[in-house]
Amino acid sequence: MTAQFGYPSDREETSAAQVRALEALLIEKGVITSGTVDKVLGYFESEMTPLNGRKIVARAWTDPEFARRLAADTPAAVAELDLPDGMAGAEGEHIAAVVNEPGIHNLVICTLCSCFPWPVLGLPPYWYKDPVFRARAAREPRKVLTELGVALDEDTEVRVWDSSGHSRWFVVPERPAGTEGMSEAELAELVTTESMIGVALADSPAGR
């Protein structure tokens, strides 16, 4: 996916090397410590991760009333769940969910920079920040989705949501067929970060 939107295959490795070099320099200058870095990384590994979003989607799939509350007031609905305390921070106050349904497919982008719903999806993937992806997804979303393998019926409306500091959108994908009787934990395994951005569909149980 990354290469398709302008990132060569070694771009992520180069960026990672630059981050490591910057980290080493900041530690050497005494600006931060290795413990600070570990604390921040641990926060994103345990508090702000896609696991939160997967749990939210699974609950919405199994509880229609929760799904309605989620669309109407996302922070309030999310607060009903047993999720990390970080969900209640400043970023969590701005998350907003949009729900896919028959005839409607939602796609989330950020045309200005890389605003992202960290509390439910963690850090944004590299391709999400790619200016080529951002521009094309805003201009020709259906074509971009088709290139990514999301085959939609011609009469399906594609709605594009532009994340910002005021509203950080995420998608509740449609529940896959053949999942009747599955537990919330099992359903959560079918939810991917890409499906919560709208560039993919949730996994089918047959394909797992």
The pLDDT assigned to 86 comes to 55
pLDDT averaged over every residue in the chain: 83
| Residues with active-site annotation | 110, 113-115
Does the domain at residues 50-80+87-207 carry the CATH identifier 3.40.50.720?
A: no
Can you state the angle between helices 64-72 and 50-62, rounded to 10 degrees?
130
pLDDT one-digit tens code per residue, 17-65? 655 665 565 566 665 566 544 444 444 444 558 999 999 999 999 999 9
Spans of all domains in the chain: 8-46, 50-80+87-207
115 pLDDT above the threshold of 70: yes
More confident residue, 201 or 122: 201
User: What is the rounded distance in angstroms from the CA atom of residue 8 to the CA atom of residue 28?
Assistant: 31
Can you state the angle between helices 11-28 and 34-46, rounded to 10 degrees?
140
The pLDDT assigned to 114 comes to 82
Q: What percent of the chain has pLDDT over 90?
A: 62
